[in-house]
């Protein structure tokens, strides 16, 4: 089983994944896997690629990077602070899908949607809203949850530390409930 931790930026997703991964050694831990793929191509991580529009004029490199990234997410028995919900919300918010041809778009979307059927996905919400991007991104991620029993939304806590603690306990509880 794979676990994907998604949600808003700066909610402690990496720390949550790390804590659970350290306790559950049967899961391979991947912190910021997008950086592994995209930093060698663009010199920056996925967040800066999208926000800085560094993909413009580099359709082939971006497509190859997305395919490599999806291959990382498709591995069995991983826990990561990123996932297909996060990727889909970013692709939609920044309009990146529009630069690809139909075949490339179909490939990316088909693989993302297939990943939504696998593993467990956890959407971590911030204790306060912090900007249009996070509000829209989390809303998109939550909408993809509809009808899927393997996607869970963790309610907001009061601050960063309590968000991390609450999310770790919530995810561990869902893992034990299998």
d(CA 82, CA 140): 15
Mean pLDDT value across the chain? 90
Closest CA to 46 of 82, 7, 98: 82
The model's confidence at residue 51, banded by pLDDT at 50, 70 and 90, is confident
Q: Is the dihedral of CA 164, 147, 114, 51 positive or negative?
A: negative
What share of the chain in percent tops pLDDT 70?
Answer: 98
Closest CA to 2 of 104, 106, 150, 145: 150
- In this prediction the pTM is 0.91
């Amino acid at each position: 089983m794979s676990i994907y931790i998604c949600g808003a930026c700066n909610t402690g997703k990496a720390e949550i994944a790390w804590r659970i991964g350290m306790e559950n050694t049967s899961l391979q831990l991947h912190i910021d896997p997008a950086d592994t793929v995209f930093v060698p191509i663009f010199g920056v991580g996925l967040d800066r690629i999208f926000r800085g529009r560094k993909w413009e004029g580099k359709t082939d490199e971006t497509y190859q990077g997305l395919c490599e990234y999806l291959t990382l997410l498709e591995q069995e028995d991983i826990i990561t602070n990123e996932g297909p919900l996060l990727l889909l919300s970013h692709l939609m918010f920044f309009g990146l899908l529009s630069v690809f041809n139909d075949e490339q778009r179909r490939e990316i979307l088909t693989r993302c949607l297939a990943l939504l059927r696998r593993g467990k996905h956890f959407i971590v919400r911030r204790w306060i809203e912090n900007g249009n991007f996070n509000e829209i991104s989390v809303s998109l991620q939550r909408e993809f949850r509809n009808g899927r029993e393997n996607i869970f939304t963790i309610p907001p806590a009061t601050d960063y530390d309590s968000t991390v603690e609450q999310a770790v306990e919530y995810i561990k509880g869902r893992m034990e409930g299998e």
